[in-house]
A and B are shown apart, each in its own frame.
Chain A
Amino acid sequence: MSSWNPERKQSLVGWDSHLSRIFFLLLLFVVSAQGVTPNPEACLVSSSVSGSSISCQPPAQIPKSLPADTIFLAVEFFNLTQLPADFLQGIPNLQELHLSTNRLENLSPKFLLPVPQLKVLDLTHNSLTRLPPGLFRVSAALCTLVLKENQLKFLEASWLHGLKALQHLDLSENQLQSLPPGLLENFTNLLTLDLSNNQLQTLPPDLLRGPLNLERLRLEGNRLQVLGERLLAPQSKLRYLFLNDNRLASVAAGAFRGLQKLDMLDLSNNLLTTVPTGLWTSLGKAARNLKDGFDISSNPWICDQNLADLYHWLVANEDKMFFRNHTRCAGPEALKGQMLLAVAGSH
């Protein structure tokens, strides 16, 4: 581990040390004049008043010891299946840990005990099938947890115990088929939840009863068939809702009733033929009125009287409509292939 650290004070005495200091400063000057030309064989090290940042990718070697003031550590693109025991020992101020694109299969239950101030943990693209119980027992400061692209087939609520402060949870691109009840019960600070690109067929209706401050919910790329009344009922602060690329054929009339601040709704690429009366008028009451847009394209819409509410709403909000050309009627026969917007306008 390099101990060369230009910003750390060193006490130097004597004439020799004056020369050393001059040489040192010259070296520093030369290096800064050339800009940082990182040696790929070494980890990138930088330092600030807050502490050291260490970033390692192959061909650099993973350091055996780290500066005690390390606040940022990235060890990525190695093919580690396990982390060395006591990997985080001696760096109690660690705030961010980036371990993406390794092949981690297991984490020790004590792995995070030395780093109670950790705010960000990125485990994107590893091979985790489970998390050990108690993993997060001292992780009350963790704000962001990313488990994207692992091999989780199921979750147990106990795996996430301890994450009181969690704001961003990313479980996307796993193989989750279902979620256990009470998974997010105590996640009152959660702002974003990403469950996209899993294999979820249903969701427990009380899934979102805990995180009442949710702003972004990504459910795209699953196998959901039905959107019930209860799931989103308490989500008055929800701003972005992605339900695209599922198998939704049925949306309950009150499904969006509680959403008062929705900025964007994506229902594209589902199996929607119709929507129940009242569904769209409840959206219209949303304070921000979908200001960032909505997408209902690539659904097999049956353009009959049942869409009257939707037509009315479309005409009033067409400027926010994504992919008008791909939002077409699949029936009845007379209207097959027509743009929904055109049919709505002539209604």
Chain B
Amino acid sequence: MADAETGKKIFIQKCAQCHTVEKGGKHKTGPNLWGLFGRKTGQAPGFSYTEANKSKGIIWGEQTLMEYLENPKKYIPGTKMIFAGLKKKSEREDLIEYLKQATSS
């Protein structure tokens, strides 16, 4: 059972150095993630993505995020995101559950 509380901790520990989630949050090394679900890759307004990310062409959702977050550089070869990935399925599920809540109203 995916746990957003655990997901929030994972986000703060492993993602928040480069990403914000709230509406109107600033871009840092990585894009603000507000509105992520249901959006095509590379579309957060105002962020300078790699070509690789912009042209991946999938829609972010639970399944695509599960795959991506396990091994981002395999899913989007050419990405500049430095993150080896979350090997544990439960961690990805928790993080995605948190992101679902935190990136939309």
User: Is B55 interfacial (CB-CB < 8 Å)?
Assistant: yes
- Bound together, the chains give a CA A74 to CA B57 distance in angstroms of 21
Q: When the two chains form their complex, are residues B17 and A216 in contact, meaning their CB atoms are under 8 A apart?
A: yes
**Which residues of chain B come closer than 8 Å to A220, judged between CB atoms?**
13
Chain B interface, number of residues (Cβ within 8 angstroms): 19
User: Is A136 interfacial (CB-CB < 8 Å)?
Assistant: no
Q: Which residue of A lies closest to B56 (CB)?
A: A36
A55 with B5, Cβ < 8 A, contacts A100-B84, A242-B13 known: no
Please encode chain B, from 69 to 91, with 1 for each CB lying within 8 Å of some chain A CB and 0 for all others.
00001100110101010000000
In this complex, which of B16, B51, B74 has the most chain A Cβ atoms within 10 angstroms of its Cβ?
Answer: B51
**Which residues of chain B come closer than 8 Å to A102, judged between CB atoms?**
none
Q: When the two chains form their complex, are residues A266 and B9 in contact, meaning their CB atoms are under 8 A apart?
A: yes
Q: When the two chains form their complex, are residues B77 and A120 in contact, meaning their CB atoms are under 8 A apart?
A: no
- Bound together, the chains give a CA A167 to CA B5 distance in angstroms of 29
**Which residues of chain B come closer than 8 Å to A57, judged between CB atoms?**
73-74, 77
A contacts with B: majority SS: strand
**Which residues of chain A come closer than 8 Å to B13, judged between CB atoms?**
218, 220, 240, 242, 266
- Bound together, the chains give a CA A74 to CA B52 distance in angstroms of 12
* Cross-chain contact of B9 among A35, A72, A146, A322 (Cβ < 8 A): A322
- Quote the shortest CB–CB distance from B48 to chain A (angstroms): 10
**Which residues of chain B come closer than 8 Å to A36, judged between CB atoms?**
51, 55
What are 27 of the A-B contact pairs (CB < 8 Å)?
Answer: A35-B55, A36-B51, A44-B51, A46-B78, A53-B78, A55-B77, A57-B73, A57-B74, A72-B80, A77-B74, A100-B82, A101-B73, A101-B84, A120-B80, A125-B84, A144-B82, A148-B84, A216-B17, A220-B13, A240-B12, A240-B13, A240-B16, A242-B13, A266-B13, A293-B8, A293-B12, A323-B5
